[in-house]
Structure 1
Amino acid sequence: MNATQFEQYKVDHLFLLVGENPLPNYVAAKLLLHQGGTAYLVHTTDTLDEAKRLKDSFDSAFNVNFLPLNDYESDAYHIQKEINTKLKSINNGKIGLNYTGGTKAMSAHSYRTLLYEEIQDKTGKVYRRRNGIIFSYVDPRRLEICIDREDNERERLKVKADTLQIPLARIFQLHGLNLKKNPTQEPELPELAQELVKVFADKAKVTQWFDWYHNIFCPEARKENRKWKNKTDLAKLFIPLNKLPSEIVEVFRDKQLLTSDDNLALAEVKKIGLFTEIEDFCKFLDGIWLEHYVLEQIKKIANSQVITDYGLNFVIPLQGTKDGFEFDVAFTRGYQLFAISCTTASDKKLCKSKLFEAYLRAKQMGGEEARVALVCRSDEPDTLKAEISNIVSGNKIAVFGCADLLNLSDNIIKWIFENDRGAK
């Protein structure tokens, strides 16, 4: 961790105002609180759960004191009283306040309480400025921690990708979300996905692909209700490859999935261990292949772009929903969440819907720092982005269309670079 610039601002006691998104609190504690120091989690009744998850996330690295305001988050007297009581119990060590979270009233009154102490002199009760308090907040637009100096200037400390690396599981845990299963980190059938990308770049070949898939493969492999047939029936299928692009046929042949008369034998998929179930292979052909292609592109650039955690198929249960929500592909760079939604569709309405839903979920977990991209088959990705930019700030989203797929890893690097440049 390259965090030497934060050393002079580290404290032994850090007051944290807990809001609905605990991620900034976690970042502030990791960068501004000495190991073994004490975090004071100033929370309301509504943010008690967030405070508890923060405590759990610290993994005994810090001592934790809860400082409940209950339902008095806008009560100046109550806020001052609670913080002053805690301050009087601190006998030594450097003190700080990070006021990123919480309500505006909590920020204002907490700041004022820590900035001035009440004393008695000949004239009675007066206030004087405390010395040595470190005031800070996390700036999500610039990816910086800002330190308020005593000369009324502001010190901006860049939180670079190698300064603090937070895994995806930690971000989910901070929001009380447990994944249904471990995400996939190794792409499946990358050779087939690569060839399908090349096919999708050729209008004639992509027509051939969809003609084979919808008119030959699906009628054989699906029931009338569009669900896949059971594994016994799927294992009996030998599907002709009429007019299928030769590149795809060659991958099937190389993977030993063809019979002697060049039919696709679905039973071989499970027999040679390509997929656990034949239905998974059917889903792969149905469009999941694009997610695996994107995962392969992320994996390829991970080291050069300081991406330490990435994966596919983050299935997140959500209360009140049947299936929850799924991030197709996601990675963290530093503490910043990047989420990518994938679809082989070109329908504008569907593409916009997927992008917007992914953005809402990513913002919920990654805050204002979160970035979202859509990888799709659109020939007009810029138009798609423009049409949603009136709802979502354009610098927080990206759209990669058909023409971007062949060089997707380079385009993702460019996206990351533009994000870094915009955060300066």
Structure 2
Amino acid sequence: MSTFDKQKINVLICTIGSNPLPIYVTVKYLLQENRNDLDMLPKPDQLLFVHTQDTKPVFKNLKEKIIGLESGIIGNIDLGNGERNRDDVVGKLTNELHKLEESYDIASINLFYTGGTKPMSVFSFLAVEEFVGEKNIQKIYSDLHPEHAVIAVGKNTFPLSDGKDLRDYICITIKDLFELHKMQISNQGKETMTFDNVDIVQFAKRMINIVREDSYNSWRNSLGRMSREINNKYGLNKKDIESMRTDYEDVYREIKNFFPINWSVVSESNASFKKVIEFLHGKWLEDYMLYAIQQIKSDICLSEVRQGIEAKYELRPCELDIVAMKGYQMYLFSCTTSSEIKIVKGKAFEALHRAEQLGGSHAKVVMVSMLSSKKKGNRGNENYNDNLMKDLASFNAQYEKTVSLIGYEELENFELLTEKLKEIFCL
């Protein structure tokens, strides 16, 4: 068959690593037909995924999601354990391209090299160079920039839109994100406040003072005893709940002007008691942050915000305090009412690991705690956010992301908090 009789096709080659998100986002964008950059980034007709034995499950899951996008033909190249073997990678990839050339006239080849190991990317590049040679085929080498949310091709970036980036064009849901990573959602979380009759801003101001002040030690002890009871027992009966009435009355006395939920309501059932105590013991901070994010949601183009998502990964359960989506980018908020740097640091490490698992270098982490920004007076030697940032520096480099910190100063001032959030979301 002569070249003139063959159908022209555009080929997209993607090297696959452990994180499928960049490939899914890029493919979803490239498959759009109403783009103003089609000459420079042609819509692919043939998708080729290069994977190893270890990333074969990632390919299979990615393929299932991409089929739903009405994509072109999907093929794959299994490198087995030979991703570091130059001849193996170059040979398999060029062989696949030659097969395509027998049936089609290849107009362009776009090698998207964000995923996979460096040797895979380098050897795939060499394969494309070797195959194209002097042929009249457009060569494109592309990468999804994790910080600027653009597809980079040399010095050019896409989309070609002033003031916009890829997050303005590609939106995925929290459900999509979890499914991409084969995570099962057991609780999709919530978008509303735990208690409709509580002014969460005023309540949070009161709780912040109580949590931080030494004079409220006995108050915290009473709340702690009730919290331990609900955690230690599968279900509390009426007698168990009644035995904690004194502790609840001690706690309620300090917050009754901001929390109109008295003992008769709290003690109705094990469920109602647990709901109230968990809220008072720390869930209120998640509600407060959820409310603050919702107030600026439209200003910063967030597509989805949810609190308390529960999921399973390889049968291991995990709970995410707050997840916000800006286009395809995930912001993971971890919240604690602690002002002890060791506890906050542990939560930050956990959030970094989870964010890396779900979004790789494209995900952002926000740590919310009662730590002050800087050391004040003689209050502690290490319990402040400037110190925490230094401790996290090596982990930030390991995970290729910086943890944003929100502390006491921002939490006690709602206007300052929303400004800080806008700053974080617009970085």
TM-score by length of 2: 0.79
- Of the three residues 15, 22, 35, the one matched with 1:24 is 22
- Of the three residues 38, 47, 61, the one matched with 1:53 is 61
| 2:189 equivalent to 1:199 | no
Distance 1:296 1:224 in 2: 26
For the 8 Å contact 2:203–2:258, the answer to whether it is kept is no
Equivalent position of 1:111 in the other structure = 125
Deviation at 1:228, TM superposition (A): 7.4
1:24 to 1:342, Cα distance in 2 relative to 1, 3 A? same
Q: Structure 2 matches for 1:31-180, cutoff 5 A?
A: 31-33=29-31, 37-58=45-66, 59-62=68-71, 63-88=73-98, 89-90=100-101, 91-92=104-105, 94-117=108-131, 127-128=133-134, 130-148=136-154, 154-157=155-158, 159-180=165-186
Name the SS for the 2:115 alignment partner: coil
For the 8 Å contact 1:136–1:146, the answer to whether it is kept is yes
Equivalent position of 2:425 in the other structure = 416
| 2:221 equivalent to 1:214 | yes
1:266 to 1:50, Cα distance in 2 relative to 1, 3 A? same
After superposition, the C-alpha distances for 1:41-93 in whole angstroms (9 at most, x for unaligned) are 11111110000111111214213212212222122233233222322325145
Deviation at 1:213, TM superposition (A): 4.6
Deviation at 1:117, TM superposition (A): 2.9
Equivalent position of 2:3 in the other structure = none
For the 8 Å contact 1:199–1:205, the answer to whether it is kept is no
1:204 to 1:74, Cα distance in 2 relative to 1, 3 A? closer
**Structure 1, 391-400 or 218-227: larger mean CA deviation:** 218-227
Distance 1:56 1:204 in 2: 48
Deviation at 1:170, TM superposition (A): 1.8
For the 8 Å contact 2:190–2:308, the answer to whether it is kept is yes
1:44 to 1:377, Cα distance in 2 relative to 1, 3 A? same
Name the SS for the 2:184 alignment partner: coil
Name the SS for the 1:211 alignment partner: helix
Equivalent position of 1:305 in the other structure = 300
Distance 1:218 1:79 in 2: 59
Q: Structure 2 matches for 1:362-373, cutoff 5 A?
A: 362-373=355-366
Distance 2:119 2:16 in 1: 13
**Structure 1, 47-56 or 72-81: larger mean CA deviation:** 72-81
Distance 2:294 2:353 in 1: 25
The amino acid of 1:194's aligned partner reads: V
Name the SS for the 2:138 alignment partner: coil
Equivalent position of 1:386 in the other structure = 390
Count of matched residue pairs: 379
Equivalent position of 1:330 in the other structure = 323
Distance 1:182 1:104 in 2: 36
**Structure 1, 196-205 or 405-414: larger mean CA deviation:** 196-205
The amino acid of 1:27's aligned partner reads: V
Distance 2:323 2:91 in 1: 43
Deviation at 1:344, TM superposition (A): 0.9
Distance 1:221 1:34 in 2: 52
The amino acid of 2:83's aligned partner reads: E
For the 8 Å contact 1:382–1:399, the answer to whether it is kept is no
1:34 to 1:110, Cα distance in 2 relative to 1, 3 A? farther
Name the SS for the 2:294 alignment partner: helix
Name the SS for the 1:142 alignment partner: coil
Name the SS for the 2:87 alignment partner: helix
The amino acid of 2:22's aligned partner reads: P
After superposition, the C-alpha distances for 1:237-275 in whole angstroms (9 at most, x for unaligned) are 6556347565x213443xxx33xxxx564135x6xxxx9
1:204 to 1:368, Cα distance in 2 relative to 1, 3 A? closer
Equivalent position of 2:41 in the other structure = none
For the 8 Å contact 1:238–1:266, the answer to whether it is kept is no
For the 8 Å contact 1:44–1:68, the answer to whether it is kept is yes
For the 8 Å contact 1:99–1:137, the answer to whether it is kept is yes
1:192 to 1:279, Cα distance in 2 relative to 1, 3 A? farther
**Structure 1, 94-103 or 128-137: larger mean CA deviation:** 128-137
- Of the three residues 262, 274, 286, the one matched with 1:291 is 286
Distance 2:215 2:249 in 1: 11
For the 8 Å contact 2:144–2:150, the answer to whether it is kept is yes
1:16 to 1:213, Cα distance in 2 relative to 1, 3 A? same
Name the SS for the 2:283 alignment partner: helix
For the 8 Å contact 1:187–1:292, the answer to whether it is kept is yes
Q: Can you give the 5+ residue segments of structure 2 that lack an aligned partner in the other structure?
A: 1-8, 34-43, 160-164, 373-383
For the 8 Å contact 2:323–2:332, the answer to whether it is kept is yes
Distance 1:415 1:343 in 2: 19
Distance 2:211 2:137 in 1: 72
For the 8 Å contact 2:266–2:272, the answer to whether it is kept is no
**Structure 1, 311-320 or 290-299: larger mean CA deviation:** 311-320
Deviation at 1:30, TM superposition (A): 1.4
Deviation at 1:203, TM superposition (A): 5.8
Distance 2:139 2:258 in 1: 64
1:331 to 1:245, Cα distance in 2 relative to 1, 3 A? same
Deviation at 1:348, TM superposition (A): 1.1
Distance 1:293 1:358 in 2: 19
